[in-house]
Structure 1
Amino acid sequence: MTDLTRRTRDFVKDTVLPLDDEFDGDIEAAGGDVLRRRLQESARGAGLFAPHAPADCGGHGLGMVERAPVFEEAGYSLFGPLAVGIAAPDEGNVHLLDHVATDAQRTRYLQPLARGEMRSAFAMTEPSPGAGSDPSALSTRATKVDGGWVVNGRKWFITGADGASFFITMARTSGEPGGAGAAGAGGATMFLMPTETDGLDVVRHVGTVDRSMVGGHCEVRFADAFVPDSEVLGGVDEGFRYAQVRLGPARMTHVMRWTGAARRAHEVAMRHVIAREAFGSRMSDLGMVQQMIADNEIDLAATRALLRVACEELDAGQRASESTSIAKTFAAEALHRVVDRATQMCGGLGVSTELPIARIAREIRPFRIYDGPSEVHRWSIAKRAVRRAGEGR
């Protein structure tokens, strides 16, 4: 265990976890942005803040493999990632901006975001028939005008939108929804849009089962919202290519964080079955309980192994589309199984607020949907396998 990993573990357990437990993982009940700023100041003072951010922005500059154990320790508490500045969507946006932003954009957006001076949102998902699992259905449109672009459209499930300082917004700049090639999926552009932009409106919170994400998951509307040319992120019509810069690593950092949460559920259940007696022996000595314990250990170990394969490819500069899809799909389902078994081992306590397991189950369930539902990843994995088989590889 590295020194940074050890110190992150101790900070989360001593400083963050008590608040997580006190407020049942509800970030708004715990203080929302006020708590975020307080926890991040503590993490900064301890030298733990922004382990992923580039050094010129005050971060530790860790690669993907190096991040994994640190992010897992932060994820042990539902509030931990927020405290050390690695929560979604900011963490993924820092990664994207570091790779794509101009010098001026780094100064205006990346540096204050990486320092925790502001929050951000990534606005891509749309209501039907717009972009969801199929990004080529993108319907929010940006029209070229003198000096910039005018954006019109509607987004929802935009994490962290309430209170964000700026949005990275995906909008169609050529082609039609559902098209193919340069006129379809390729015809999207990313725009940097400060929240005070005229015509950008955070309409409402979309109610969801999870409660640990500061700023919620919101509906956002764009009505003739003007974006100057200087705030185009990357190249025009190349938004989906740049999205891949963000999505693969962001899927893996989700895996890292949720591995920590699932591990906590498993450890709480272990302590319970070791202490609890039933049918004349400790519960941990019963065969059916031992099978659940072993299966949890296997799922956690396999998750970490698949995660490492994908992270090594990303660190080597590869796109890693297949390895990240495999790791994300397996982890989302395996970690859900870990938490579900932990619930079962604890019986009634497992579905109560007496233990943290029920809230971890509540928070981890959406991971099988966001950043690509398991079914979409399986479709993509199968297509690649069929293509390889057809090519004789």
Structure 2
Amino acid sequence: MPEDNNGVVVAGLDLSGVVTRLAAAAPAADAAASFPHEGIRIVHEAGLLELTVAERYGGRDLSLGDLARLAAALGRGDPSVALISLMTLFSHRHQAQSSPWPDALYERVLAEGRQRPVLLNAARGEPELGSPARGGLPRTLARRTPGGWSIGGTKRFVTGCEGLSYFLVWASTDETPQRVGTFIVPGGAPGIGITGTWASLGLRASGSHDVVFDGVEVGRDNVIGLAGADVAGQDNRAQAVNTLVVTALYLGVAEAAQEAFLAFAEGRVPANLGYPIARTERFVALAGEIDLLVSGARQLILGALDHAAGEPDKLLRARLLAGRQLRQAVQLAVSALGNPGLSRDTGLERHFRDIQSVLVHAPQEDTVIAILGRAAFSARTAATAAGKERAQIAAAPDGRAFADRLLPAQTPFQGTPRTLRIT
């Protein structure tokens, strides 16, 4: 359950009202699989879309742990809104860390954000490429023009694309030698087409459709991170932080499911029992098991981000373990209630669908496991090599065998010339 008993508090902000309003608007957007305009408006009016803007731009520069707490809070209300919001928050955090955006353009983005919701997101995946986390270069092409660049290609799974103010399009150039970079494309530019291909089981309102860029013109400075094609691949370890923060929004989904389970158990009074099923040993045990899984996942996520943000392998482990626990907790809650657990009336049906996406974000589960497996073998190889080196030193001639021992203190006559007299 949330860390604060009186509401959802993140970085001193009480978000309980925001979460309640998001939860009220979420079912309609989910049922219609439509862009969550109301939810985004709520988040914008609360000033949450710019919380990771750097202090040098007048922002708060939210910490990683608090960003995850924010994701969990929004996920309790509407995970689709949470995911769309996180994509924007990640972009601002990237700017806070390394300032890749042209200054004038970024200042304009911040100015627009004071008037209306300004949503940003990277467009990286492609039909032929799949997920960049598995390697490969984009087929989307940026061609040189007299005024800048012309972008052409198709991107997949562009979350929130119907409401984006700027697409951050990963593309290859037509230069020789070829380079790869991210091109900043205004959402209203001519030549952008959105195809309604998003028909997912969960996060239906996230609108992660395909987007076609047909000769979209951008200025010559609307590009960041241009690098040679040989060094342009995605570093999955470098993405471990963002991936774990995304997992936190599903912590919010599981907490909402946990609350729905408890509310149903407290309100359900069978005629043959005469008191709420929450007082039966079975439901007490189920509530404890769900709490163990959900609260344990919260500890894993926040503990890793608060104390091990610079250790990618720990973040990746926390992501997998927490994701599995959250999915298991919601499954347990749904199966315990039977038919009511699958009904829209309790809300658990929507939470069950949404939680299925917890481990599909790149890098996917099998990729992460392979990373951890290779790291385990590398660590063992390094340990074996170090052990052999120690053994060789120990077996060396006396001078080396005892090189690491302290020599006894020398007497005053040691090291002085000696004369041998024979009579």
Q: TM-score, normalised by structure 2?
A: 0.75
For residue 132 of structure 1, report the CA deviation from its aligned partner: 4.9
Question: What is the DSSP-based 3-state SS (H/G/I as helix, E as strand, rest coil) of the residue aligned with 1:171?
Answer: strand
| Aligned twin of 1:390 | 381
Residue 251 of structure 1 pairs with residue 249 of structure 2: no
For residues 63-118 of structure 1, the C-alpha deviation after alignment (integer angstroms, 9 at most, x for no partner) is: 01233334322322116955xx9723222222223333232232133564587532
Cα distance 1:109–1:50, how it changes in 2: closer, same or farther (>3 A)?
closer
Map of 1:136-155 to 2, 5 A cutoff? 136-144=136-144, 148-155=148-155
For residue 266 of structure 1, report the CA deviation from its aligned partner: 0.9
Give the Cα separation in 2 of the matches to 1:147 and 1:227: 8
Cα distance 1:389–1:62, how it changes in 2: closer, same or farther (>3 A)?
same
Q: Residue 88 of structure 1: which of 81, 86, 89 is its match? A: 86
Task: Verify the 8 A CA contact 2:23 2:77 in the aligned structure 1.
Answer: yes
Give the Cα separation in 2 of the matches to 1:322 and 1:343: 32
Q: Which has the larger radius of gyration?
A: 2
Task: Verify the 8 A CA contact 1:202 1:220 in the aligned structure 2.
Answer: yes
Map of 1:58-77 to 2, 5 A cutoff? 59-77=59-77
| Aligned twin of 2:319 | 328
| Aligned twin of 1:178 | none
Give the Cα separation in 1 of the matches to 2:187 and 2:41: 23
Give the Cα separation in 1 of the matches to 2:80 and 2:152: 36
Cα distance 1:81–1:6, how it changes in 2: closer, same or farther (>3 A)?
farther
Cα distance 1:70–1:119, how it changes in 2: closer, same or farther (>3 A)?
closer
| Aligned twin of 1:40 | 43
Cα distance 1:127–1:147, how it changes in 2: closer, same or farther (>3 A)?
same
For residue 207 of structure 1, report the CA deviation from its aligned partner: 1.8
Give the Cα separation in 1 of the matches to 2:132 and 2:322: 21
Q: Identity rate of aligned residues, in percent?
A: 17
For residue 10 of structure 1, report the CA deviation from its aligned partner: 2.2
Structure 1 unaligned blocks of 5 or more: 176-181
Question: What is the DSSP-based 3-state SS (H/G/I as helix, E as strand, rest coil) of the residue aligned with 1:167?
Answer: strand
Question: What is the DSSP-based 3-state SS (H/G/I as helix, E as strand, rest coil) of the residue aligned with 1:197?
Answer: coil
Give the Cα separation in 1 of the matches to 2:153 and 2:69: 39
For residue 350 of structure 1, report the CA deviation from its aligned partner: 0.9
| Aligned twin of 2:403 | none
Task: Give, as a single letter, the amino acid of the residue that structure 2 aligns with 1:69.
Answer: R
Task: Give, as a single letter, the amino acid of the residue that structure 2 aligns with 1:156.
Answer: R
For residue 367 of structure 1, report the CA deviation from its aligned partner: 2.3
| Aligned twin of 1:353 | 344
Task: Verify the 8 A CA contact 1:130 1:138 in the aligned structure 2.
Answer: no
Q: Residue 187 of structure 2: which of 195, 203, 222 is its match? A: 195
Structure 2 unaligned blocks of 5 or more: 385-423
The count of residues paired between Structure 1 and Structure 2 equals 372
Cα distance 1:129–1:152, how it changes in 2: closer, same or farther (>3 A)?
same
Task: Verify the 8 A CA contact 1:53 1:95 in the aligned structure 2.
Answer: yes
For residue 239 of structure 1, report the CA deviation from its aligned partner: 5.1
For residue 165 of structure 1, report the CA deviation from its aligned partner: 1.7
Q: TM-score, normalised by structure 1?
A: 0.80
Question: What is the DSSP-based 3-state SS (H/G/I as helix, E as strand, rest coil) of the residue aligned with 2:161?
Answer: coil
Give the Cα separation in 1 of the matches to 2:265 and 2:69: 27
For residue 24 of structure 1, report the CA deviation from its aligned partner: 6.8
| Aligned twin of 2:409 | none
Task: Verify the 8 A CA contact 2:65 2:306 in the aligned structure 1.
Answer: yes
